[in-house]
Amino acid sequence: MTRRILLVVHPHRPEALEAASLASAALAGEGVSTCTDFRVGDAPIEAALVLGGDGTMLHAADMTRGTGIPLLGVNLGHVGFLAELERDDVAHAARRLAGGEYSVEERGTLDVTVTSPEGVVETGWALNDVTVERANLRTTIEVALDIDGRPLSTFGCDGVVVSTATGSTAHAFSAGGPVLWPDVDAVLVVPLAAHALFARPLVVSPSSHVSVEILDRSSSDGQVVLDGARAIDLARGGRVEVRRGAQTVRLARTSDAPFSERLVKKFALPVDGFRGTRPIAGWGAGI
């Protein structure tokens, strides 16, 4: 049977197109064909090689949703937290995929239900985050936040981010939220520029239901943005409900390096003076 690997390539970066050519050649050398879309009747797709930044990875996750296809990212962007490898590793990444030399990490998602004031319901999902934002950038929105059906607070703000552990290094982090390790099973709620005494980031149970309603007294309508790419309008009086997603996203990993190493690398964190496992003076001496 013909073996196939999906290529998901950032369409507007010349280096991504060059990387796709390198990857295709490397895969052909391993007897594996490539494709850029799904077609009924074709051979099954073993995995996807994603060439771009985090936006391209999120697009690939949406493109392959429900298929169980593992995604291996090669970062051609800036930070690239979701990518496993860097731009010099394209051919290497392709050969690792062809040889099955990777493990699979399951990442949790969020399911979203948006209900308009008239009762019209739209649904969506996100791997990183769901953001309730103001539609008019010159004003704020007034929101009511509740957890598991119980009111928690009302406040004016620029918006509210509801994030997975995976998305804690994205929009939620920029808004002052904590970084969650990927294996932390929790949901993060971070208000954006809130006018309130109590509007701190919250880490809630993965089984919790988070709801945000734009109050009628708000001076602006809003919108719900999924993974920074897909948007659903949310008028005053509308409500968005977020809960743990029914499906996961499968990320291919070629390294067992700890997440702390990824943080240091991606954020260029200073670690000068770190002494590793060497004994510290005073330890073991009753001090």
Q: What is the DSSP string of 137-165?
A: TTS-EEEEEEETTEEEEEEEESEEEEE-S
Q: What CATH number did the domain enclosing 57 receive?
A: 3.40.50.10330
Q: 128 and 46 in one domain?
A: no
54 labelled catalytic? yes
Say which of 37, 42, 54, 272 is annotated catalytic: 54
b/e map 101-125, b = 16+ CB within 10 Å? ebeebebbbbbbbbbeeeeeeeebb
Q: Give the per-residue pLDDT at 282.
A: 45
Average pLDDT, integer, range 11-37:
92
Please, which pLDDT band fits residue 286 given cuts at 50, 70 and 90? very low
Residue 138 lies in a domain: yes
Separation CA 193–CA 131 (nearest Å): 13
**In terms of residue numbers, what domain contains 16?**
4-107+248-267
How large is the average pLDDT for residues 221-246?
96
Q: In 3-state terms, the chain is what percent helix, strand and coil (to 5)?
A: 20, 35, 45
Say whether both 44 and 147 belong to one domain: no
* 29 and 96 assigned to the same domain: yes
Same domain for 93 and 149, yes or no, is: no
Could you give the number of structural domains in the chain?
2
Is residue 283 in a domain? Answer: no
The phi, psi pair for 6, rounded to 5°, reads -80, 135
Query: Do 138 and 53 sit in the same domain of this protein?
Result: no
240 and 115 part of one domain: yes
66-85: pLDDT as tens digits: 999 999 999 987 778 898 88
Are 82 and 152 part of one and the same domain? no
Lowest-pLDDT range, 44-58, 73-87, 108-122, 220-234?
73-87
Q: Bridge-partner residues for 5, per DSSP?
A: 34, 47
Say yes or no: 34 and 146 in one domain: no
Report in angstroms the alpha-carbon separations of 257 from 93, 127, 253, 262. Answer: 16, 22, 10, 8
- One-letter identity of residue 33: S
197 and 78, same domain (yes or no): no
Tell me the CATH number at 148: 2.60.200.30
pLDDT at residue 40 in the model: 58
Better pLDDT: 196 or 285: 196
**Within-domain flag for 166:** yes
Q: Is residue 172 part of a domain?
A: yes
The rounded Cα 206 to chain-centroid distance in angstroms is 16
Q: 37, 53 in Cβ contact below 8 A?
A: no
Task: Assess whether pLDDT exceeds 80 at residue 114.
Answer: yes
**In which band, very low, low, confident or very high, does the pLDDT at 187 lie, cut at 50, 70 and 90?**
very high
Checking if the pLDDT of 203 tops 90, the result is yes
Same domain, 125 and 229: yes
pLDDT (0 to 100) of residue 277: 56
Q: Which of 36, 39, 30, 31 lies closest to 11, judged by CA?
A: 36
Any domain includes 28: yes
The reply to whether 9 falls in a domain is yes
- 27 and 147 belong to one structural domain: no
Same domain (yes/no): 20, 96: yes
Contact 239, 213 (CB under 8 A): yes
**Whole-model pTM over 0.85:** yes
Q: Which of 174-188, 241-255, 266-280 has the lowest mean pLDDT?
A: 266-280
Residue 281 confidence (pLDDT) above 80: no
pLDDT of the residue at 278: 54
For residue 120, being part of any structural domain is answered with yes
**How far is 225 from 166, CA to CA, in rounded Å?**
16
3-state secondary structure of 91: helix
Q: Is residue 10 part of a domain?
A: yes
CA angle, corner 121, sides to 113 and 64, nearest 5? 55
What is the average per-residue pLDDT within 47-70? 95
- For 260, phi and psi rounded to 5 degrees? -60, -35
Grade residue 280 by pLDDT with cuts at 50, 70 and 90. very low
